[in-house]
Amino acid sequence: MDLQRTFAIIKPNAVRNGHIGEIISAIEREGFTIHGLRMAQLSKELVRGFYIDHLGKAFYPNLEAFMLEGPVVLMALEGENVIARWRELMGATDPAKASAGTLRRAFGEDVTRNAVHGSDAPETAQREVMYFFSAFDLV
């Protein structure tokens, strides 16, 4: 038993293309509990702080511009081994390499515009949930 929490984002392309419902359906079908959820239009500062580990990388400017293109859906998810299972449901970072049936394969356009985010470890999950949600927002 390892009941975990993770942080997920439905990125601007998936929101704009009308895939919020399908992505949330996949989350519910998988049996994860949504304990925080809200929409936001991110700012440069918020994106920088969120992707702090990628700030100096060559792809960062494109990533930042993409994340500012439109509103996103922010979610805190809970479930058995949810960190790895949500990443499995998302698929590989590059949609072209993601397995059939994954969200990035279905809704991603390229490695930058890959439709969804998921934390990669318990420490980052904790940091990312607290970055966007106050305790008050979490049920």
3-state class of 26 per DSSP?
helix
Residue nearest to Mg ion (CB): 120
d(CA 133, CA 97): 32
Least distance between ligand DAT and beta carbon 80 (Å)? 21
d(CA 132, CA 36): 10
Q: Using the rule CB under 6 A, is 114 a contact of ligand DAT?
A: yes
d(CA 29, CA 22): 10
d(CA 114, CA 103): 9
- Which residue number, 114 or 133, has a Cβ lying nearer to ligand DAT? 114
Binding mask 50-89 for ligand DAT (x = CB under 6 A): ----x----x---x--------------------------
Buried b (16+ CB within 10 A) or exposed e, 30-61: eebeeebbeeeebeeeebeebeeeeeeeeeee
Sign of dihedral through CA atoms 59, 12, 71, 40? Answer: negative
Contact segment (CB under 5 A) with Mg ion among 25-33, 44-52, 97-105, 117-125 equals 117-125
Contact segment (CB under 6 A) with ligand DAT among 21-29, 34-42, 69-77, 113-121 equals 113-121
Q: Using the rule CB under 6 A, is 111 a contact of ligand DAT?
A: yes
Task: Point out which residues bind ligand DAT (CB under 6 A).
Answer: 54, 59, 63, 93, 111-112, 114, 117, 120
Residues acting as catalytic residues: 117
Q: Which parts of this chain interact with Mg ion (CB under 5 A)?
A: 120
